[in-house]
Amino acid sequence: MIAFLGNIRYMRFFISLLFICTCLSSHAQNLKAPSDFLGYELGTRFTPHHRVLDYYSYLSENAPSRVRLENYGETNEGRPLILAYISTAKNMKNREKIRLEHLKNTEGKGEPSIAIVWMSYNVHGNESVSTEASMKTVYELLTHKEESLENTLVIVDPCVNPDGRDRYVNWYNQYKNSPYTIDPNSAEHHEPWLNGRPNHYMFDLNRDWAWLTQVESRQRIKVYNKWLPHVHVDFHEQGVDSPYYFAPAAEPFHEVITDFQREFQTTVGKNHAKYFDANGWFYFTKEVFDLLYPSYGDTFPTYNGSIGMTYEQGGSGSAGLGVRTGTGDTLTLKDRILHHHTTGLSTLEIASQNAVRLNQEFKKFYQPKDFKYKSYVLNGNPDKLKALTELLTKHEIEYEWATDKTVKGFNYVSGKNGSVKTDNNTLVVNSDQKKGTLVKVLFEPNTKLSDSLTYDITAWSLPYAYGLNAIASETKVAAKTTTDRNNFEALNLEELSSKSYAFLIKWNSFSDARFLADLLNSNIKVRYAQNPFVMDGVSYDRGTLIITKSDNKNLPDFLDSLRSKALKHQKVVYPTSTGFVDGGKDFGSHSVQPLKKAKVALLSGKPTSTLNFGEIWYFFEQQLQYPVSVLNSDYFNTVDLSEYDVLILPSGKPYAQFLNQARMKSLKQWVRDGGKLIAMGSALKDFAKDKTLQLKAKNIKKDSIAPIPIYDHDQREQIKNEITGAIFKTKINNTHPLAYGYDDIYFSLKLGVDAYAYLDKGTVAYLDGNGIQPVAGFAGSDAQQKIAETLVFGVEKYGSGQLVYMVDNPLFRGFWENGKLLFANALFMVD
Ligand SMILES: [Zn+2]
């Protein structure tokens, strides 16, 4: 260096280099690394969420020109959800301009040059390395990677699921040895029944991107749609013994995934491999994690034009701060941080190197596509249509209302080509719109599978999930109006007068059930019709709610209360001046029974599945809004069940231990005395073994000789016996209270091959010998035979009570809209 001092040109260069170095190092010096800020070396403790927020706030306060935080919401337990935007000071100044220019690309306009990379950490709360790694990665970006930020804007969600993560961290801190032990038998490596993976309601947030049932997802989608990043990474962990997994993903890939999206997955993977090879770290690609089910943090972004990827470190809730692996090595939190940190930085590097291409290809993704089906046309109950339009609105999917005509196409109900008459109550969703790819993925009748081995369910088509009649049309259907029609116009408040004898409410949708729950919660007495009737020239079906004035004569403000609830729920209430019907049974008849304000208990803890328990808990609190008592299996013995009218046993692990002889006897006695027991999924097995009950497992003829599977292909042989999630058309007896409000078919999402024979009496929904091929999704050939002529939903009368059997789960992931009424029927109508 000294030799150059005489040369003024070099001198200048040296000074400016010194200046740059000083700038960079002043950034580095000014900003504390996570370890310095937190007061412990990263990886030696788990950082609670509030301290993670402190560090991000610290960064934004000390590098305000380069880091901006956005609070995008709050969890069920009140923890803030935040995003950190990170780039150069220049880009950050132009952040809104960059966003708008980027979005113009979806319309084929705009000249964007910046790559937008979104990194989501810790969607599964107990995959706890992710949030720790995010802090290291962000720090490194700000202090040593400024050059890759010149053309890149990074959006970091440090913790998608703070409730779950803090649940894990708090639990771990309570149970860890000091110092931690790597012995995998020690308690610190064994999370309890309620582990940290799901959110507060025990929903898996990495199954919820498309359905948006959870508060975290609903708040996130608003910002996500504002940015639609080029690249989205979802950081995860898998089992302790698994090497690291990164892109490219495994088959099946959904057919909408473009060549570029596939190719770029490989580009990213090869860049990561470079670093992993140099360090001698193990990894795998192209296996296990496929790109099909649309509700993941990789597929959903992919269907919105992004390069969506899952990265999986070995570890998870059993890894703690360090654990001995199957090969005798020690896996530490520090190692796990380093790996996620490496793939994070490598992703940014490759995105920055390819910013121009990412922008070009993103524009191409949004150019009009010639999908086979141009329009999806949906008819049905207005409440169900409304529920669907609410989901579409959250996704910024456009929809219209049809005009009077006839539309031809694939009929979802019949499974054949057919036609339907449309009018202004008919919903039309076109695939030639900005979100057209997502429309195709969510609406098409049957998803094309390039491989039947997949990680998840293989069918989800929304017309089936929402119980709507639909046609997929190969020509675009012209529609007129884009404003929502008011389906509430029939309510005449003046008619809710004191002169009325009773008020009638039709029973057709889950929204009706929600209205009923609200009425019962307000102590309004409600009856229901067990037979159809005609009143004032209007036909009313089974399940119609009848609210008489005399039942409610002691309720102060009865009419005001009924009026305000009808308004709140947008319900049509038909007043009538008499209890004398034109046809059917009068309101004083025995077939018009009062509805019980049922006291409901729900079993939690082992052996129930946290997911199924969570779905039911969420159903009561957030969807139906009706009280439920949660009884943990730990102290179930001490509870006096006679205080409850309904007991729900969720699906889960085998119930044999819980339903031991003594317990079975006492539960049967409770049912005999008038209790209603709702058993779901695996909880049915032990009832089927009880000789005094009707429920029986279906007799399966064993193959004479089981084929010897080919060694490499035994997984494929196995899938002949499997259904991992496919839609079946079941017949349903809508004269039974469990099926009030339904047509005579119900599309059920089948998640397994549990097979029970029809009940002698009380078979409500069932598969017959013909209905065993799924209407959508994959079902193995042996599995199809197994489920032929089996029960789907049924009710067994037992003494003065009932056993309600749910072989399938109508509340699966909270998104099977058409199953919710069935569950409400089980609570209120079955008597
Ligand atoms: Zn995960």
d(CA 488, CA 741) in angstroms, rounded, equals 19
Which residue intervals of 252-319 are DSSP H helices?
A: 259-279, 299-302
| Cα of 338 from ligand 1 centre, angstroms | 18
Q: How far is the CA of 124 from the centre of ligand 1 (A)?
A: 5
pLDDT score, position 712: 53
Per-residue model confidence (pLDDT) at position 233: 98
What gap in Å lies between CA 770 and CA 667, rounded to an integer?
36
Q: What is the DSSP code string of 444-476?
A: -SS---S-S--SS-S---HHHHTT-EEEEESSP
End-to-end CA distance of the chain: 92
CA 535 to centroid of ligand 1, rounded, Å: 56
List of residues 6+ apart from 78 with CB closer than 8 A: none
Taking the centre of ligand 1 as the mean of its atom positions, its distance from the CA of residue 667, in whole angstroms, is 38
pLDDT band at residue 412 using 50, 70 and 90 as cut-offs: very high
pLDDT class for 20, splitting at 50, 70, 90? very low
Task: Write the DSSP string, 307-361.
Answer: EEEEEEEE-GGGTTTEEE-TTS-EEEHHHHHHHHHHHHHHHHHHHHHTHHHHHHH
Mean pLDDT for 456-465 is 94
In contact, 625 and 665? CB cutoff 8 Å: no
> Taking 80 as the threshold, does the pLDDT of residue 523 lie above it?
yes
Distance 241 CA to ligand 1 centre (A): 15
How many Å lie between the centroid of ligand 1 and the Cα of residue 219? 20
The pLDDT value recorded for residue 499 is 81
Say whether 547 sits in a helix, a strand or coil: strand
Nearest CA to 127 among 32, 56, 54, 204? 204
Q: How far is the CA of 236 from the centre of ligand 1 (A)?
A: 4
**Residue 125 Cα, ligand 1 centroid: separation in angstroms?**
8
pTM across the whole model: 0.94
Confidence of residue 701 (pLDDT cuts 50, 70, 90): low
pLDDT of residue 1: 36
pLDDT number for residue 608 = 98
In which band, very low, low, confident or very high, does the pLDDT at 722 lie, cut at 50, 70 and 90? confident
Mean pLDDT of 583-591: 93
Task: Give the pLDDT of residue 669.
Answer: 98
Average pLDDT over residues 783-803: 96
Of 470-484, 570-584, 680-694, where does mean pLDDT reach its minimum? 470-484
Q: Binning pLDDT at 50, 70 and 90, where does residue 700 land?
A: confident
Q: Is the pLDDT of residue 724 over 90?
A: no
Q: How far is the CA of 388 from the centre of ligand 1 (A)?
A: 28
Q: What pLDDT, on a 0 to 100 scale, did the predictor assign at position 15?
A: 42
pLDDT of residue 654 exceeding 60: yes
Q: Are 294 and 302 in contact (CB under 8 A)?
A: no
State the pLDDT confidence band at 711, using cuts at 50, 70 and 90. Answer: low
Distance from the CA of 114 to the center of ligand 1, in angstroms?
29
Residue 483, pLDDT above cutoff 80: no
% of the chain with per-residue pLDDT over 90 = 85
Query: Residue 640 gets which letter from DSSP?
Result: -
CA of 128 relative to ligand 1 center, distance in Å: 10
- From ligand 1's centre to the CA of 237, what distance in Å? 5
Residue 198 φ then ψ, to 5°: -85, 180
Predicted confidence (pLDDT) at residue 686 exceeds the cutoff of 70:
yes
Q: For 332-360, what is the mean pLDDT?
A: 98
Query: Cα of 202 to ligand 1 centre, how many Å?
Result: 14
**pLDDT (tens digit per residue) in 229-287:** 999 999 999 999 999 999 999 989 999 999 999 999 999 999 999 999 999 999 999 99
Q: Is the pLDDT score of 708 beyond 80?
A: no
Reported confidence tier of residue 716, pLDDT bands at 50, 70, 90:
low
pLDDT band at 450 (very low <50, low <70, confident <90, very high): confident
The amino acid present at 143, given as its one-letter code, is T
For 231, phi then psi, to 5°, come to -130, 135
Q: What is the mean pLDDT of residues 613-617?
A: 98
Judged by average pLDDT, the poorest of 12-16, 366-370, 560-564 is 12-16
What distance in angstroms lies between residue 106's CA and the mean position of ligand 1's atoms?
30
Q: Angle at CA 501, nearest 5°, toward 498 and 503?
A: 90
412 torsion bin: left (phi>0), alpha (psi -120 to 50), beta (else) = alpha
Kindly tell me if the per-residue pLDDT of 14 is higher than 50. Answer: no
Ligand 1 centroid to residue 324 C-alpha, Å: 21
What pLDDT does 448 receive?
87
3-state DSSP helix/strand/coil % of the chain, to nearest 5: 35, 20, 40
Position 3 scores a pLDDT of 38
Backbone dihedral angles phi then psi of residue 189, each to the nearest 5 degrees: -105, 10
Ligand 1 centre distance from Cα of residue 314 (Å): 10
Place 687 in a pLDDT band, splitting at 50, 70 and 90: very high
With beta carbons less than 8 A apart as the criterion, state whether 733 and 740 touch.
Answer: no
Largest CA distance in the chain: 112
Compute the distance from residue 186 Cα to the ligand 1 centre, in Å.
23
Q: Looking at residues 60-88, what average pLDDT do you find? A: 98
Query: What's at 827, amino acid-wise?
Result: L
pLDDT of residue 360: 97
Query: For residue 791, what are the contacts with CB-CB under 8 A and spacing of at least 6?
Result: 695, 756, 757, 758, 759, 763, 765, 766, 805, 807
- Distances from the Cα of 749 to the Cαs of 221, 405, 727, 775, in angstroms? 26, 32, 5, 10
Is the pLDDT at 484 greater than 70, yes or no? no
- Calculate mean pLDDT across residues 220-234: 98
Return d(Cα 403, Cα 420) in angstroms, integer.
Answer: 12
CA 286 to ligand 1 centroid distance, Å:
17
730-769 tens-digit pLDDT: 999 999 999 999 999 999 999 999 999 999 999 999 999 8
Distance between Cα 197 and ligand 1 center (Å): 8
Mean pLDDT, the chain, as a whole number? 92
Q: What is the average pLDDT across 306-333?
A: 97
Question: Quick one: average pLDDT of 297-323?
Answer: 98
CA 221 to centroid of ligand 1, rounded, Å: 19
pLDDT of 300 reads 98
In angstroms, rounded to a whole number, what is the distance separating the alpha carbons of residues 747 and 462?
A: 11
pLDDT (average), residues 362-388: 96
The set of residues, in sequence order, having a beta carbon less than 8 Å from that of 370 and lying 6+ positions away, is none
CA of 331 to the centre of ligand 1 (A): 18
The answer, yes or no, to whether residue 710 has pLDDT greater than 60, is: no
Mean pLDDT of 213-234: 98
Q: Name the percent of the chain lying above pLDDT 70.
A: 92
In this prediction, residue 715 carries a pLDDT of: 60
Per-residue pLDDT band for 116 (boundaries 50, 70, 90) equals very high
> How far is ligand 1, taken at its centre, from the CA of residue 298, in Å?
11
pLDDT at 11 > cutoff 60: no
